[in-house]
Amino acid sequence: MILRLTRRYRFAAAHRLHAAAFSQEANQQLYGKCNNPHGHGHDYVLEVSVAGPLDEATGRVANPAVLDRLVAQEVLACLDHRNLNAEVAEFSDAPPTTENLLRLIRQRLLARWPETLARTRLAGIRLYETRRNIFELAERS
């Protein structure tokens, strides 16, 4: 039996969608109002899911506090109340789209996956940018 635990987190960040490889006109056409030179912000909602077998001794798939610490240290500390373009090194060459943000979150979580979560795997990440824009990274089994 494989179980899944999903925890929800919130963070606020600002960004401007702009790709250096494209002209100003192309960026405006591609990103529209999100290409505003002054940027704009979002109140993101992040869901992180882990999956694994039930630990018979604890009756849990994972300790939520361990996952909370991992997300706080590796994701929220890096992104919360930041200008993604100016303050997050990974976005010096890439536009801080929500897709790229998901990729960064995944990389940061997996790079520091704690031994106490070794029985589990990252099962997915969902990031709510707005009420209408929801992005999901589903890990393969």
Q: What is the DSSP letter of 55?
A: B
Residue 46: partners with Cβ closer than 8 Å, 6 or more residues away = 8, 9, 10, 11, 71, 75, 105, 125, 126, 127, 128
Q: Is the CB of residue 96 less than 8 Å from the CB of residue 140?
A: no
Q: Out of 40, 81, 87, 99, which one is annotated catalytic? A: 81
Per the annotation, the verdict on 90 as an active-site residue is no
Q: Is 78 a catalytic residue?
A: no
The catalytic residue among 15, 18, 25, 34 is 34
Instruction: Please give the Cα distance from 99 to 117 (Å, whole number).
Output: 25
Check 47, 90, 129, 139 and give the catalytic one. 129
Query: Is 34 part of the annotated catalytic residue set?
Result: yes
Catalytic positions, written as ranges: 34, 81, 129
